Structure 1
Amino acid sequence: MDQKLLFNKLLQANDVKDKQLLNAKLQHANEIQKTEEENQKFQKQLEKMTTAFANMQVTNKKKIQELDQSRYKYVLDFKKEGFDDEMSEESDCDGNDSDEDYSLPPEPKRIRLEEKYPTEVWEQIIEKSEKGWKFSTIQAQHKKLSDRKEIQRMKQYLGTDGSKIQKFCDINLAVLRDFLNMRNELEEIHDRDLVDSALKAADELGLPTFKASEGWLHQFKKKNGIVSRKINAVVTKAQLGNQPELDTVIEEFRENMKVVIAEKRLEKVFNADQTGIKQEMISGRTLAIKGEKKIKAVVKRVNATTHSYTVQVLISAAGKLVLPVMVVFCEPKRPACFEQQLLPFKNIKAYSTNSGIMTSQLGITWLQDIYKPNAGENSVLMVDSWTGYRQAIDQDNGSVQVHILPPKSTSVAQPLDVYFNRPFKNFIRLLSCKIRRNFKEFDLSNREGMATLIDITIGQFSAPVFNAMIQYS
């Protein structure tokens, strides 16, 4: 009996599941049918919209054609009633045709009196007018005259030393002349100087209403390509006076070096120079929101941005950066661990002085301990006229052929100064910025941080990929 009841319950449960399944199938079928009906409605609406759009295109095309055909209304029609054409027997303009290429003629450009005739001719015209000549007679000789008023304007302009427009042009020329003279003298020039020059010229030309506004100043600078530039070199009047003689000496030195280099292998020709590196380098500019009054940047030590250490770089004419590189750190009180702390940095050979600047004794040490072991015998060394090099050469046994650059010529004749040092420092500046941003705990301004930075930089520039750049310098 119990089994029968259980069996009946199972049958009832299956019937319920079958009904639920059937209901689900019916519901799904209804949803599919509903979706199809909606798709059909959407398709019909789309067809209606497509048809309406096509009709609209046809209508617009007809309107455009009608507008094109009606353009003749705006052209003089010689066949229209009331138009008196005495010179033509019939018009060759057909009212049914449209002139699609027709366009209104440009307005004639007004020609100023200064452009028509020079002031000498003005005086001749005025003289003829004052003698009682008819305007038609004067106009026959000077066909650019338009009417009698132009003769009156000529008198007025001559009485006031030219028209106002001409005076503006004269002011611009005077300011440009002053600017070029000041640049030739290598003087500092600022906006205020241009304004003063303009006001002075306006006063001389009798134009008291001229104010030398910011708008005038902006347009004057833009027209003449004048911009503000950073001063990157200072000279004295004496140096300027000696410049032609210095140029001759530099050219002679270059010609002599060409002969020397031609006789030697490039691997045997070297150039050495000192360059100062800030203990912590930072760019002088940064992106900021427009209008910010105080632009600050974070460094480890402010003093490190003003104190330097020295790097003594040696390159060959073959494009090789010679390793190790002498680096002179600023150590007023050199610790006992100095050499041990910097020993792991293989690309540099560390020394120290109280100021971080090379001494004559270090120059002698560099020549004996770094240059000669790398250069070998019969090498050629080109250096500037620093006293330390001269003392090192005097103490040498003559195994190095040394060529000293003429004084005051390193900026144009020293290979390291001409090209290498600037990208070298730019790389250090860029790498410093990346380290400050991504390794905030790393101290660039201490001894180990500076050694790490310069060691990495020298390692990069000694790679073969930089050989062409070094050789180019």
Structure 2
Amino acid sequence: MAGKAWLSNFLKRNPKLSFRKPEATSAARARGSNKPAVSAFYDLLEEALKYPKLTPDRVLNADETSVCDKSKVAALKGKKQVGGITSAERGETATAVMCMSATGQLLPPFFIFLRMRMHEALKKGESRGSKFACNASGYMTVEIFNEWFDHFLEHVNPSEDSPDLLIIDGHSSHTKNLAFTEKARANFVKVLVLPPHTSNKLQPLDVSFMAPFKTYYA
């Protein structure tokens, strides 16, 4: 087994190396981010960007992220433990669907709450144009994704002279959804799906937007 002296000398010979804490990466993500799959995606993207009349403001990326209401409370300085009583109305995880163009224009968000019936109090402080849905899981389903796509069409308003390119991940609510496919085709929206298990590297919103959004939200 190599000893400390070997390691020390190895690092001296390779000054560009440093010890870093590795990010938790599933085996599926590690296998998914391979050169053939990524190259094939970019070949498709390059071909899609040649679509006539497609401009950067019409290239959009949509993604879902979970958000949780965990508000901070005022407490005495030096107090070691600060507890909070949770209820069915507080501390629950919800899903936010975000969509942004390549020029930075953000569509109003679409929220999915973990509950069976919508309550007007949950809309307090909403940004203009936001839409809401709810179900027993709090996650995206085929039916809710179709509702979101209607929301998308309402704000983007694609046409033959102004077509759109929508980049999404391969969630089953997107890819096993014939109604969405047909509506996208009828409304001049080209859809490009990311390769499986690569959204942490290739999904623009996942890479650059979601983390700052969650930090600001918290």
TM-score by length of 1: 0.37
3-state SS, counterpart of residue 34 of structure 2:
helix
Q: Is the aligned partner of 1:387 residue 2:179?
A: no
For 2:66 and 2:84, how far apart are their aligned partners in 1?
19
Following TM superposition, where does structure 1 have runs of at least 4 consecutive aligned residues deviating by more than 6 angstroms?
Answer: none
Q: Is the aligned partner of 1:421 residue 2:213?
A: no
Equivalent residues in 2 for 1:33-44 (5 A)?
none
Mind listing any 5+ residue stretches in structure 2 that lack a counterpart?
12-16
Q: Please give the per-residue CA displacement for 1:421-451, whole angstroms capped at 9, x wherever unaligned.
A: 111111012xxxxxxxxxxxxxxxxxxxxxx
For 1:241 and 1:367, how far apart are their aligned partners in 2?
27
3-state SS, counterpart of residue 259 of structure 1:
coil
- Cα pair distance change 1:367/1:318, threshold 3 Å: same
Aligned partner of 2:105 among 320, 337, 343: 320
Q: Is the aligned partner of 1:365 residue 2:152?
A: no
Give 1:296's aligned amino acid: Q
For 1:311 and 1:251, how far apart are their aligned partners in 2?
27
For 2:33 and 2:103, how far apart are their aligned partners in 1?
34
Aligned partner of 1:278 among 60, 68, 90: 68
Structure showing the higher helix proportion among its residues? 1
For 1:254 and 1:380, how far apart are their aligned partners in 2?
9
Q: Which residue of 2 aligns with 1:243?
A: 34
Measured after TM superposition, the shift of residue 243 of structure 1 is 2.1
- Cα pair distance change 1:299/1:256, threshold 3 Å: farther
Aligned partner of 1:311 among 96, 103, 116: 96
Q: Please give the per-residue CA displacement for 1:61-80, whole angstroms capped at 9, x wherever unaligned.
A: xxxxxxxxxxxxxxxxxxxx
For 1:263 and 1:362, how far apart are their aligned partners in 2?
30
Give 2:25's aligned amino acid: A
User: Cα RMSD (Å) of the superposition?
Assistant: 3.5
Q: Please give the per-residue CA displacement for 1:299-330, whole angstroms capped at 9, x wherever unaligned.
A: 4528855x41000111112211112x210111
Structure showing the higher strand proportion among its residues? 2
3-state SS, counterpart of residue 3 of structure 2:
helix
3-state SS, counterpart of residue 23 of structure 2:
coil
For 2:49 and 2:71, how far apart are their aligned partners in 1?
37
Q: Please give the per-residue CA displacement for 1:367-389, whole angstroms capped at 9, x wherever unaligned.
A: 12x11111112222111112222
Equivalent residues in 2 for 1:162-173 (5 A)?
171-173=3-5
Measured after TM superposition, the shift of residue 362 of structure 1 is 0.3
- Cα pair distance change 1:244/1:174, threshold 3 Å: farther
Q: Is the aligned partner of 1:349 residue 2:140?
A: no
Structure with higher RCO (Cα < 8 A, 6+ apart): 2
- Cα pair distance change 1:359/1:313, threshold 3 Å: same
- Cα pair distance change 1:373/1:233, threshold 3 Å: same
Query: CA contact under 8 A between 1:279 and 1:308: conserved in structure 2?
Result: yes
Aligned partner of 1:330 among 97, 110, 114: 114
Query: CA contact under 8 A between 2:33 and 2:198: conserved in structure 1?
Result: no
- Cα pair distance change 1:267/1:300, threshold 3 Å: farther
Give 1:423's aligned amino acid: P
For 1:265 and 1:172, how far apart are their aligned partners in 2?
57
The structure with the larger Rg is 1
3-state SS, counterpart of residue 27 of structure 2:
coil
Q: Please give the per-residue CA displacement for 1:141-177, whole angstroms capped at 9, x wherever unaligned.
A: xxxxxxxxxxxxxxxxxxxxxxxxxxxxx73354569
Q: Which residue of 2 aligns with 1:410?
A: 199
Aligned residues: 198
Measured after TM superposition, the shift of residue 395 of structure 1 is 4.0
Measured after TM superposition, the shift of residue 231 of structure 1 is 3.3
Q: Which residue of 2 aligns with 1:118?
A: none
For 2:48 and 2:207, how far apart are their aligned partners in 1?
16
For 2:48 and 2:96, how far apart are their aligned partners in 1?
25
Measured after TM superposition, the shift of residue 265 of structure 1 is 2.1
- Cα pair distance change 1:233/1:257, threshold 3 Å: farther
Measured after TM superposition, the shift of residue 297 of structure 1 is 4.0
Q: Is the aligned partner of 1:232 residue 2:24?
A: yes
For 2:211 and 2:30, how far apart are their aligned partners in 1?
24
Q: Please give the per-residue CA displacement for 1:199-229, whole angstroms capped at 9, x wherever unaligned.
A: xxxxxxxxxxxxxxxxxxxxxxxxx7435x2
Give 2:172's aligned amino acid: T
Query: CA contact under 8 A between 1:327 and 1:349: conserved in structure 2?
Result: yes
TM-score by length of 2: 0.73
Measured after TM superposition, the shift of residue 357 of structure 1 is 0.8
Query: CA contact under 8 A between 1:385 and 1:406: conserved in structure 2?
Result: yes
Give 1:309's aligned amino acid: A
Measured after TM superposition, the shift of residue 269 of structure 1 is 1.8
3-state SS, counterpart of residue 411 of structure 1:
helix
Q: Which residue of 2 aligns with 1:396?
A: 183
Mind listing any 5+ residue stretches in structure 1 that lack a counterpart?
1-169, 181-223, 283-287, 430-473
Query: CA contact under 8 A between 1:276 and 1:308: conserved in structure 2?
Result: yes
- Cα pair distance change 1:258/1:345, threshold 3 Å: same
Q: Which residue of 1 aligns with 2:14?
A: none
- Cα pair distance change 1:327/1:241, threshold 3 Å: closer
- Cα pair distance change 1:299/1:231, threshold 3 Å: farther
